[in-house]
Amino acid sequence: MKDWKRYENGLHHVGPHWVRFFGDNLIGTAFEQPNPEGRFAWYVADSQQVGAKTFRQGLSSSVQEAKLSADAAVLDRKRGRSAAVEGELTTSTDRNRRRVDRLLASELLARRLIGDLRRYHQELVVTGDIQTADRIAHSLRQAAVGGLSDYIRRTATFRVRSGSRMPSAEEMQADEEAVLKIADELDALAHESPPNIDKFEKTTNELRRLGVFPDSELYSAVVQSFMLKAVT
């Protein structure tokens, strides 16, 4: 994960952990070893506060999720939201906001990774290392599709509607579940070999029918990644 650096030891001898310096004196830490319940601890601290006071902390289901939770916590801080401890009793709005922030952090990571992998793939093609280029093409496809599916999950409740009639709460819930199911289907497409661009187009057309329009940059990145196999 970009900007996170792994340390084998050194932080109070706790074993392998990841650290990220976010700027504004905020430092994130995610621990690589799970607790007895199989959860991974993380926290974000403000180095300007006495004792590097913790701004937010929590437990996640994986190391990657712990990093994304820390990223989302920093987004909270920069937007002026109050600190909270992961797992505290919060309103449904707070929980949804935190979920959206985690998706946004993952989506932004994917956008950066897409650019890095695309440049690396081009360099490999130029040097004639086709075998490695094909592996990078697969990683690029996973990053692009993953970024798009996270975008879709993040915006699942925001849809374009025609007509003046407002949908019922039940209809809105059904539509959102349909959108989230399509996001899962997109994730599955990232692992298919060879990549099936026709199935991808059919899936995104279903999204548009539901009033959800994919981000143009991520959509273009997915299409390009599906075509790389033919180029190499």
Q: What is the pTM for the complete model shown?
A: 0.57
Predicted local confidence at residue 87, as pLDDT:
45
Predicted local confidence at residue 83, as pLDDT:
46
Predicted local confidence at residue 95, as pLDDT:
59
**pLDDT band (50, 70, 90) for residue 195:** confident
Predicted local confidence at residue 26, as pLDDT:
83
CA angle 144, 1, 125 (to 5 degrees): 50
Predicted local confidence at residue 90, as pLDDT:
53
In contact, 155 and 147? CB cutoff 8 Å = no
**pLDDT band (50, 70, 90) for residue 98:** low
Predicted local confidence at residue 232, as pLDDT:
46
Predicted local confidence at residue 62, as pLDDT:
86
**pLDDT band (50, 70, 90) for residue 85:** very low
In contact, 131 and 161? CB cutoff 8 Å = no
In contact, 22 and 74? CB cutoff 8 Å = yes
Residue extents of the structural domains in the chain: 5-78, 92-231
Q: Which range, 141-150, 154-163, 167-176, is most confident? A: 141-150
Q: Between 61 and 47, where is the model more confident?
A: 61
Mean of the pLDDT values across residues 29-48? 82
For residue 26, the cross-strand partners are 23, 46
Mean of the pLDDT values across residues 150-168? 69
pLDDT at 102 over 50: yes
Please tell me what DSSP assigns to residue 17.
E
Predicted local confidence at residue 94, as pLDDT:
58
Mean of the pLDDT values across residues 124-144? 88
Share in percent of the chain as helix, strand, coil (round to 5): 55, 15, 30
How many Å from the N-terminal Cα to the C-terminal Cα in the chain?
27
How far is it, in rounded angstroms, from Cα 130 to Cα 121?
9
Q: Between 144 and 168, where is the model more confident?
A: 144
Output the average pLDDT for the chain: 78
pLDDT at 183 over 80: yes
Mean of the pLDDT values across residues 131-144? 88
User: In this structure, what token pair is assigned to residue 55?
Assistant: 């701004």
* Number of Cα atoms under 13 Å in the Cβ half of residue 141: 25
